[in-house]
Amino acid sequence: MNESELFKALADPTRRAVFERLADGEMNATDLRQGFDLSQPAMSQHLAVLRTAGLIAEQKYGRNVLYRINPDGVARIHQWLSRYNAFWPSRVDDLKQLLKEMDQ
C-alpha cells in the first residue's frame, strides 16, 4: 500500500496492460489471460501484486473472481503527482478542458 509498491506494480509492462484492460470493465482472471502469452499462475501473481499495491480490487462469485480497477490506487498516484504540479504547466489547459467536459 506504499508508494514503492505502487510504482513497482506499474513498472511491469504486463501489469500495466492488465490494468489498462480492466479500465474497459471488470473481468475475471481467465478472460484477462486472453492475448497474453502467460501461464495461469503468472497472471495470478501479477493480479496479486496489483491488488497488494491497491491498484485493483477483487470480488469473488462462486469459483470465479472478478477484478476491477480500484479508484484509490489511481487517486494515490495523482496525489503523489500533485506535489509536482508546478512542473507541468503545459497540461493545465488540457485539464481545464477536461473539467469543463465533465460538467456537461
Partner DNA sequence: CAATCATATAAGTCTGTGCTTATGTATTTG
Partner DNA sequence: CAAATACATAAGCACAGACTTATATGATTG
Which residues lie near a copy of itself (CB under 8 A)? 3-4, 7-8, 10-13, 16, 20, 23, 69, 71, 74-75, 77-79, 81-92, 94-96, 98-99, 102
Angle at Cα 33 formed by Cα 27 and Cα 36, nearest 5°? 135
User: Do the Cβ atoms of 96 and 89 come closer than 8 Å?
Assistant: no
Whose Cβ is closer to a copy of itself: residue 22's or residue 47's? 22
Quick one: CA dihedral 86, 91, 93, 97, positive or negative? negative
- Which triple of cell numbers denotes residue 33? 489471460
Whose Cβ is closer to a copy of itself: residue 2's or residue 40's? 2
Site string for DNA, 44-63 (x = CB under 7 A): xxxxxx--------x--xxx
Residue 42 Rama label (left phi>0; alpha psi -120 to 50; beta): alpha
Whose Cβ is closer to DNA: residue 4's or residue 104's? 4
Instruction: Please report whether residue 39 would count as binding DNA according to CB under 7 A.
Output: yes
